[in-house]
């Protein structure tokens, strides 16, 4: 033993969360993975690995990504899952609504829903989506 700590080989729920936030912001500003990679001196494959949570992102690199995307570094960690001992890798990510928002369809759905100004129409859309998803109305609290 030379006294150095062994680095963890697997990524965790926070890595996946940060990656999804990178994808979400990249899509919001209209950049491709190639565009972001070019701005950082990385390949689109590396950006893809970051966004999928397959590779960890160092602090310095995260600062660079935040600068290119025009946000504060802390934004990546908003609503990040709290680490739990014994929790399986990816368990928190499966329940993360950002996973949907980080897709083109999810982002388009959120933008279109945000454009609906009539509260009755919003409730009707929610009821339709819940019905299509097979979710019971009682599972959700009505907005006040």
Q: What is the pLDDT of residues 16-65, one digit of tens each?
A: 999 999 999 999 999 999 999 999 999 999 999 999 999 999 999 999 99
pTM for the structure as a whole? 0.59
Q: Which domain holds residue 17?
A: 13-102
Taking only the tens place, the pLDDT of each residue in 68-119 is 999 999 988 887 776 655 444 344 434 566 677 777 777 888 888 889 999 9
Residues 130 and 70 in one domain: no
Q: Note whether residue 7 is domain-resident.
A: no
Q: Which residue reads 């935040």 in tokens?
A: 66
- Domain CATH number, residue 94: 1.10.260.40
Which residue, among 21, 96, 10, has the nearest Cα to 54 in the 3D structure? 10
Residues 138 and 98 in one domain: no
Q: Note whether residue 1 is domain-resident.
A: no
Residues 82 and 26 in one domain: yes
Q: Which residue reads 């995307």 in tokens?
A: 69
Residues 71 and 91 in one domain: yes
Residues 6 or more apart from 143 whose CB is under 8 A from it? 119, 123
Taking only the tens place, the pLDDT of each residue in 117-133 is 999 999 998 888 878 77
Q: Which residue reads 């009505």 in tokens?
A: 142
Which residue, among 31, 41, 33, 20, has the nearest Cα to 99 in the 3D structure? 20
């Amino acid at each position: 033993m030379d006294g150095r700590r062994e680095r963890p080989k697997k990524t965790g729920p926070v890595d996946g969360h940060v990656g999804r936030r990178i994808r979400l912001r990249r899509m919001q500003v209209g950049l491709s993975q190639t565009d972001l990679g070019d701005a950082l001196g990385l390949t689109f494959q590396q950006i893809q690995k970051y966004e999928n949570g397959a590779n960890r992102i160092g602090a310095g690199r995260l600062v660079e990504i935040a600068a290119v995307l025009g946000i504060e570094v802390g934004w990546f960690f908003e609503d990040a899952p709290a680490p739990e001992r014994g929790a399986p890798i990816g368990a928190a990510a499966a329940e993360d609504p950002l996973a949907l928002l980080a897709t083109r369809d999810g982002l388009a759905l959120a933008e279109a829903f945000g454009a609906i100004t009539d509260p009755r129409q919003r409730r009707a859309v929610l009821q339709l989506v819940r019905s299509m998803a097979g979710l019971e109305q009682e599972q959700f609290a009505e907005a006040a």
